[in-house]
Amino acid sequence: MTEKIIYLDGIDPVNIYGVKNKHLDKIKGFFPKLKIVARGNELKVIGEEEEINDFELKINILVDYYHKYNLIHEEDIEQLLFDTSHQISASNGDFKEPIIYGNTGKPIYARTVNQVSLVKEYKTNDILLAFGPAGTGKTYTAIALAVRALKNKEVRRIVLTRPAVEAGEHLGFLPGDVKEKLDPYLQPLYDALRDMIPVKKLALYLEDGTIQIAPLAYMRGRTLENAFVILDEAQNTTMNQLKMFLTRMGQNSKFVVTGDITQIDLPSINDSGLWQATRILDNIEGIAIIEFDIRDIVRNKLVKDIVKAYEKKED
């Protein structure tokens, strides 16, 4: 007889065991010759070595399945344990496949022509500049790619940042400390993450620094290695700020810069680092520039009409 401890790393055990161990009892039913004792994230297994190895393989398949889909049903367990060939592999980035699966198991796809371009260009470029109107899914798609890269262990951390530019409001009059003043500016990034990462795991990632969300000024002096880094609202950076940000890039990192050059809150459009970068960096290998347009708007259909109306007025 052999005894082995199997560790469920990076996952809340209840996601595998089920409420009141309902899933675990079903799993045990497939391995009647093994004695299986669960203590937190440890599974002690006693039995013949060959059966223990088979059990460990199936548990890893279940864990991989949960990491990919963010949920696991009783019928999923039955299918996965019966089908010995069912190996879960992460998406390779093909836009016909989901980028990732959200918290409810709903697939998150690249939904428009330029969202598809962003996913494709990600494969072969380390810096992506994505700009275009509001509601085109630039940042959401970028965050989906970042979460996928983290899940696939392509990077060790995600860094999300925005410039803290006062768009007609005054930070000094807002209540709270610096973090509390800045959090409303970063809220859209939190919202996207909550769609894609379970709440408990997201809290853990934020606590241990696996995911960092900070204003752009906090990037100065850093070298960001093994990281997926997204700069959102980049139209409100100056040329020097954007240069500072891009030169933070270390080894094995991906940088995505998103923004809308029709919503610049700086004194002049010519002050925008994003607007200038689309002209300065357009011929550098390893940098891709994707311009989103009105066709890519995926919010309420009225958003498309609003953008059209303002474009007509500006013309």
**122 with 238: CB under 8 angstroms?**
no
CB atoms within 10 A of CB 146: 28
What is the reported pLDDT for 57?
Answer: 87
Least confident of 8-22, 37-51, 220-234, 280-294: 8-22
Residue for token pair 């065991």: 17
What is the reported pLDDT for 103?
Answer: 83
Q: Which residue has the higher pLDDT, 162 or 314?
A: 162
Q: Mean per-residue pLDDT for 212-228?
A: 91
Q: Which residues of 216-237 are buried (b: 16+ CB within 10 A; e: fewer)?
A: beebeeeebeebbbbbbbbbbb
> Residue ranges of the domains in the chain?
2-82, 100-314
What is the reported pLDDT for 180?
Answer: 64
Instruction: For the chain, give the mean pLDDT.
Output: 84
Say yes or no to pLDDT of 200 above 80: yes
Residues above pLDDT 70, as percent of the chain: 88
Which of 297, 210, 211, 226 minimizes the C-alpha distance to 260? 297
**DSSP designation for 10:** T
pTM of the model: 0.69
Q: What architecture is the 100-314 domain classified under in CATH?
A: 3-Layer(aba) Sandwich (3.40)
Say yes or no to pLDDT of 168 above 50: no
CATH number for the segment(s) 2-82: 3.30.1370.10
What is the reported pLDDT for 89?
Answer: 38
Assigned token pair, 276: 């200038």
Over the stretch 82-141, which tens digit does the pLDDT of each residue have?
654 444 333 333 445 789 988 877 788 888 888 989 999 999 999 999 999 988 999 999
What is the reported pLDDT for 126?
Answer: 97
What is the reported pLDDT for 76?
Answer: 74
Q: Which residue has the higher pLDDT, 201 or 172?
A: 201
Q: Mean per-residue pLDDT for 57-86?
A: 74
Q: Using CA of residue 154, residue 237, residue 133, residue 178, what is the dihedral sign?
A: positive
**245 with 216: CB under 8 angstroms?**
yes
